[in-house]
Structures are given as structure tokens and as C-alpha cells.
């Protein structure tokens, strides 16, 4: 499928690249890397995201060119939807694009809905960025430092700095290619992990103050409300990876973060140490992801949503 996508890509002129709402490192790294690579082929490229690039990722090459409103002259021969398991998660702005041609769906989530005209979904890949590197190489585009820095960011963030179970020999081979292209791993790590916005640090203790242990310590949960965001002066993007704190508690098998979207809607993130397939739990609520990291959106008040999710978790423990 990679070669078919590359072949068709060479034959088109104008491209739109997009990803899921509230994008993180893999999503942003993937869309920027592909955008730069296509421009290297002389293509016309626009990159659209529903939500802003997280502040911690604005250092990435090409980040300033991302748009957040559908272009008024939006007519594209081919659209790449990256790291997005469901077309609806591309957001309302994507739906406002006037004319799109063939949709190419590239992802690594096992729960992907195969919504594209061409679908490349590889659950064995550590990240979408890992797949994009393969595509760039097949396209014959030189792996510049700028493209490589975006790919490396996707690899780094989606593998938890290369210590999650999705890290493979292919992941390290991809990272090696990025370093050979000029990426400085220390510099990237410093910008992502050691340059924290003050509002993020103010938000974290508010979230951790809600920490609960359930099922004899096998399940942990935290809550993030709109009021907390307001008090801390933070954005949703600044809560990225907060769920790793409850997951790190000794004895916990499943961690859950309940993020308030509205008083009657919650975004639920789940992490597993491996014994529990949280993708199956998320699937019960029309969500998805990976066996060890998944999410879903559930309607209802906090107590109601908690009860539904925790009942589903309890059933598989």
C-alpha cells in the first residue's frame, strides 16, 4: 500500500494534510514531516488542524504554517488524514473544506475505521511518524534535518521516550535515520520535556489532587475540569501525559483520566500496564486506540460517566 500511495501522490499537484483534534507529538510531527516532504517534491501543500499546535511543539520546523480554518480556496487533489482513527475526529473545519479529492488515511491505531479511499493502518508501527518516514523514503525525498526532526518528535513522544512496549527495532532504526539526518536528540528532548509552561505546572497539582485508587489499588483515576484549566490559565494541550502520573502508582493496572469537555460530556483517556486491553473498553463507547492506550468520549455528568467507565474496567480486571 505504501508504494501505491507514493505512486498516486506523484501524480497529483495540490494536497491537504490534517490530523485529529487536540493533536499531540505524533500527530503534529507526522503532518509537518509529510508537508515538508511534499513541498520538497514541488507540491502545493496546506496543513490544517482543528486545534492549535501545542505550545511545547511550536519549535518544530513548519509549525508556523499550520492553519486552523478551512481555506476559502480549498480545492485539493488529495487529502492525507494522519494519526486519526475516525473521520469525525478531524473536526468541523475539515468538513468545511469545499472540495477534496482522494482521502489517504495513514494511522497506527488498531481501532482505525478505514474511512479513506486508500488506507494504510499498521498497528505494529510505534507511531504514525514511523510510517511517514517509510513513505518519505519511498517517495525518494531527501530526509532533511527539518523533516527528520518532526519524525523524531513523533517517535519520541508516542513511545514515551522509547520505553513503552510499542518500541521496536524498527523504531530505533527510524530514530537512527533521523539522527543521521542531523537531529540533535538532546535538543529535542530539552524543548519537549524540560521547557514546561508555568500554567502546566499550576494545572498538574489540581489534577493530582483528584487522584483516587479503586479496586484494591488496581485502578487509578484523576479528573480535569474546565474550572481547573481556567484557574491555572492552561490549555487542554498542556495536560498531555498527565495520565502517566496515576498510571505510575505501584500496583495500578489501569489508569483513567476524565476530562470535562462540557458539564455533560467527558473525554476519557485510559492507560494499561499491559494485562488489560483498554482499546476494547474504549470500543464499548465508540472510542478506540491501542491495547495499552485508548480513549473515548462519553455523555453524562461526571459521576455518571465515572460509573459507566469504571464498571467496564471492573468487568475485565
pLDDT band at residue 179 using 50, 70 and 90 as cut-offs: very high
- Rounded to two decimals, the pTM is 0.87
pLDDT over 90 at 274, yes or no: no
Predicted pLDDT at 98 = 84
Predicted pLDDT at 159 = 94
pLDDT over 80 at 201, yes or no: yes
Interior CA angle at 3 toward 157 and 33, to 5°? 30
Segment 239-263 mean pLDDT: 96
CA distance 115 to 271: 25
**Residue range(s) occupied by CATH 3.90.1640.10 in the chain:** 2-193
Residue 17's beta-bridge partner residues?
47, 80
pLDDT over 90 at 240, yes or no: no
pLDDT over 90 at 311, yes or no: yes
Residue-wise pLDDT for 25-67, tens only, equals 999 999 999 999 999 999 999 999 999 999 999 999 999 999 9
Per CATH, the number for 2-193 is: 3.90.1640.10
pLDDT over 90 at 290, yes or no: no
List the grid coordinates of 244: 502517566
Give me the CATH topology for the region 198-316.
Diaminopimelate Epimerase; Chain A, domain 1 (3.10.310)
Interior CA angle at 283 toward 278 and 289, to 5°? 60
pLDDT over 80 at 18, yes or no: yes
Coil vs helix vs strand at 288: strand
pLDDT band at residue 181 using 50, 70 and 90 as cut-offs: very high
Predicted pLDDT at 75 = 86
CA distance 258 to 295: 10
What are φ and ψ of residue 131, in 5° steps?
Answer: -70, -40
Expressed in angstroms, the distance from the first to the final Cα of the chain is: 38
**Residue range(s) occupied by CATH 3.10.310.30 in the chain:** 198-316
Segment 155-164 mean pLDDT: 93
* 109 DSSP 8-state letter: -
High-pLDDT (> 70) share of the chain, %: 100
Coil vs helix vs strand at 274: coil
Which residue stretches of 56-126 are H helix? Answer: 92-95
pLDDT band at residue 219 using 50, 70 and 90 as cut-offs: very high
Residue-wise pLDDT for 74-130, tens only, equals 789 999 999 998 899 999 999 999 888 899 999 999 888 999 999 999 999 999 999
Strand order through the sheet with 254-262: 212-214, 219-224, 254-262, 265-272, 293-299, 288-290
pLDDT over 90 at 216, yes or no: yes
Predicted pLDDT at 289 = 85
Amino acid at each position: 500500500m505504501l508504494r501505491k500511495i507514493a505512486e498516486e501522490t506523484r501524480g497529483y499537484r495540490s494536497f491537504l494534510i490534517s490530523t485529529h483534534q487536540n493533536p499531540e507529538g505524533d500527530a503534529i510531527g507526522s503532518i509537518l514531516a509529510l508537508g515538508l516532504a511534499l513541498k520538497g517534491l514541488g507540491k502545493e501543500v496546506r496543513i490544517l488542524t482543528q486545534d492549535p499546535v501545542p505550545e511545547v511543539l511550536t519549535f518544530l520546523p513548519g509549525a508556523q504554517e499550520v492553519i486552523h480554518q478551512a481555506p476559502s480556496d480549498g480545492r485539493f487533489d488529495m487529502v492525507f488524514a494522519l494519526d486519526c482513527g475516525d473521520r469525525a475526529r478531524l473536526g468541523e473545519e475539515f468538513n468545511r473544506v469545499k472540495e477534496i479529492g482522494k482521502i489517504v488515511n495513514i494511522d497506527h491505531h488498531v481501532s482505525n475505521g478505514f474511512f479513506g479511499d486508500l488506507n494504510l493502518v499498521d498497528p505494529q508501527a510505534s507511531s504514525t511518524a514511523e510510517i511517514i518516514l517509510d513513505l518519505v523514503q519511498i517517495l525518494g525525498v531527501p530526509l532533511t534535518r527539518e523533516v527528520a526532526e518532526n519524525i523524531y518528535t513523533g517517535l519520541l513522544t508516542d513511545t514515551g521516550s522509547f520505553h513503552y512496549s510499542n518500541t521496536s527495532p524498527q523504531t530505533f532504526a527510524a530514530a537512527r535515520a533521523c539522527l543521521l539526518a542531523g537531529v540533535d536528540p538532546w535538543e529535542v528532548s530539552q524543548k519537549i520535556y524540560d521547557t514546561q509552561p508555568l500554567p502546566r505546572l499550576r494545572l498538574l497539582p489540581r489534577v493530582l489532587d483528584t487522584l483516587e485508587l479503586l479496586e484494591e489499588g488496581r485502578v487509578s483515576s484523576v479528573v480535569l475540569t474546565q474550572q481547573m484549566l481556567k484557574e491555572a490559565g492552561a490549555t487542554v494541550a498542556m495536560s498531555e501525559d498527565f495520565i502517566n502520573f496515576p498510571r505510575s502508582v505501584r500496583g495500578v493496572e489501569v489508569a483513567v483520566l476524565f476530562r470535562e469537555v462540557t458539564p455533560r460530556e467527558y473525554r476519557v483517556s485510559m492507560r494499561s500496564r499491559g494485562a488489560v486491553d483498554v482499546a476494547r473498553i474504549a470500543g464499548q463507547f465508540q472510542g478506540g486506540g491501542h491495547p495499552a492506550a485508548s480513549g473515548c468520549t462519553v455523555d453524562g455528568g461526571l459521576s455518571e460517566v465515572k460509573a459507566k467507565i469504571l464498571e467496564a474496567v471492573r468487568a475485565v480486571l
